[in-house]
Amino acid sequence: MAVISELTILQPADKEQIDLPRTSEEELAVGKKRLYIESYGCQMNFADSEIVAAVMRNAGFATTSSAEEADLIFLNTCAIRDNAEQKVRNRLKHLTGLKRQKPELLVGMLGCMAERLKTKLLEEEKVVDIVAGPDAYRDIPKLVEEAESGQKAVNVFLSREETYADISPIRLNSNGVTAFVSIMRGCDNMCSFCVVPFTRGRERSRDPHSIVREAQELFEQGYREVTLLGQNVDSYKWHVAEGLGQRVESGENQLPHALTTVPSAPTTFANLLEMVAQIHPDLRVRFSTSHPKDITDDVLHTMARYENICKYIHLPAQSGNSRVLRLMNRTYDRPWYIGKIDRIREILGEDCGISTDMISGFCTETEEEHQESLSLMEYVRYDYAYMFAYSERPGTLAAKKYTDDIPEEVKKRRLNEIIARQLEHSAERNQRHIGQVQRVLIEGPSKRSDEFLCGRNDQNKMVVFPKGSHQKGQYVDVLVTECTSATLLGQVVSH
């Protein structure tokens, strides 16, 4: 097996893709200046780019799918690993040549990399004119004006309140069927390997009414699946303002019917999940990401009660060894994690899809501790996984407290062993579906052929089948006849 040094994903969706806004005549009619956005990293970054597009639409910018046509280019960046940052720096080299051809072009860096490096970016990357952190997106039009006057413009202020709850995102490169809905921002978990608390700030939850309203509007626009996003969705909590119950019941705010179920006590993630599920049985609900220390039985029982809440949980383990987990400051140990897996299987059944993150070669990890990660994988038998070799990030607790002492060749060898084990488990878990009928939401044509359509089942697995007369956005029942480690293949039996 080839050595893979950073990231392998045994899942239908790729975290490291680039998001290109589509161009339409309607879009170009909005304004004379054109905005081009590329998004790197996690789903939250893609959702943030949609917020930025909305902010810039209000400022008179249209989106374009061509960097060459743009007056303003934003790279929405990720800082989770050095590899992610290097991808952005390589992209900036290309944009330097583009800017030579078009001197009036403005280039902005957004997101986590912008927050981590701040003004240092302007010194290191001369092509960059604007630097804006994840909580500064409302200020971007002002930053653009400053850059247009010849100044370098920066805002990396982190907020304890900003959730962008009042901004309706512009759906970029959308398939018109699935959409992300951010429910919270920031993170209070100080995992020692992670930069997120430093780049996205403290945890704060978004008003549940705005979340349900956004999901309701998406359903009315033809979307049939929403993914609720947060760094740790299980710690979502919203304190209801005094007197809100009467205002909702009176219809004063013209809110969706589901909002009448808002409890008088603080709204938990289980409450929110139920509220969104109640919008319509045909609206599928997913969420990401869960933290093993916070996911509750209430969440699992809510998932079990509603057919339209997908039976799939991303539950990052990071390691299978309790000592390494303690060094990572994950605040749980191996038995705790296994206990959570057991509860998921008990409440939601053996077919519930479970995925994970796994890091190889964390500081001081021994060979025996690496074997415990493999044995945890054997116990859980994940459907798919995000797998990484440890990459020290400046400013994190691990960088300050521990020595990155595992040789790169050892990290890579351990990573490849993790990958090989996951390939076996992914194939095994997919084979369970052969002979079963899966409910699939059609997302569009298969990547390999327009004669086939594809969509996901309840467990977030991609299913490919002949096109026939079926259309994007429909639910179909597919009899699974064969599979690979990443995809299910079959025939529609009814729709």
In this predicted model, what pLDDT tens digit does every residue of 217-251 receive, in sequence order? 999 999 999 999 999 999 999 987 533 433 333 33
Q: Are the C-beta atoms of 396 and 187 separated by less than 8 Å?
A: no
Q: Are the C-beta atoms of 155 and 118 separated by less than 8 Å?
A: no
pLDDT value at residue 294: 95
pLDDT value at residue 264: 60
Distances (CA, A) of 23 to 37, 104, 171, 255, 421: 12, 21, 12, 32, 42
Amino acid sitting at position 172: L
Q: What confidence tens digit (pLDDT) does each residue in 357-397 have?
A: 999 999 999 999 999 999 999 999 999 999 999 999 999 99
CA dihedral (7, 413, 379, 478) positive or negative: positive
Percent of the chain at pLDDT > 70 equals 88
Query: Peptide bond preceding 289: is omega within 30 degrees of 0, i.e. cis?
Result: yes
Spatial CA neighbour of 63 closest among 19, 1, 116: 19
pLDDT value at residue 457: 97
Neighbour order of strands in the sheet with 72-77: 61-63, 33-39, 72-77, 106-110, 130-132, 153-155
Q: Which two tokens stand for residue 323?
A: 């000592």
pTM of the model: 0.89
pLDDT value at residue 495: 53
Domain ranges of the chain: 20-155, 178-431, 437-494
**Rounded Cα gap, residues 226 and 283, in angstroms:** 7
pLDDT value at residue 404: 97
3-state secondary structure of 324: helix
- Domain 437-494 - what CATH class? mainly beta
Distances (CA, A) of 288 to 101, 181, 226, 269: 42, 10, 11, 12
Spatial CA neighbour of 332 closest among 311, 316, 309: 316
Distances (CA, A) of 202 to 182, 199, 226: 15, 9, 25
Statement: 20-155 belongs to CATH 3.90.330.10: no
pLDDT value at residue 5: 33
**Rounded Cα gap, residues 132 and 146, in angstroms:** 13
**Rounded Cα gap, residues 19 and 37, in angstroms:** 7
Residue 12 sits at the vertex; the CA angle it makes with 172 and 282, to the nearest 5 degrees, is: 65
Buried/exposed 36-46: b ≥16 CB within 10 Å, e otherwise: bbbbbbbbbbb
Q: Are the C-beta atoms of 414 and 421 separated by less than 8 Å?
A: no
Spatial CA neighbour of 486 closest among 450, 442, 456: 456
Spatial CA neighbour of 377 closest among 355, 362, 361, 351: 355
**Rounded Cα gap, residues 484 and 492, in angstroms:** 18
Low-confidence stretches of the chain (pLDDT beneath 70): 1-31, 241-264, 495
Amino acid sitting at position 113: M
Amino acid sitting at position 59: A
Q: Count Cα atoms within 13 angstroms, Cβ side, for 201.
A: 18
Residue 402 sits at the vertex; the CA angle it makes with 398 and 406, to the nearest 5 degrees, is: 100
Pick the CATH number of 178-431 from 3.40.50.1970, 3.30.360.10, 3.80.30.20, 3.40.50.880: 3.80.30.20
Q: Are the C-beta atoms of 183 and 228 separated by less than 8 Å?
A: yes
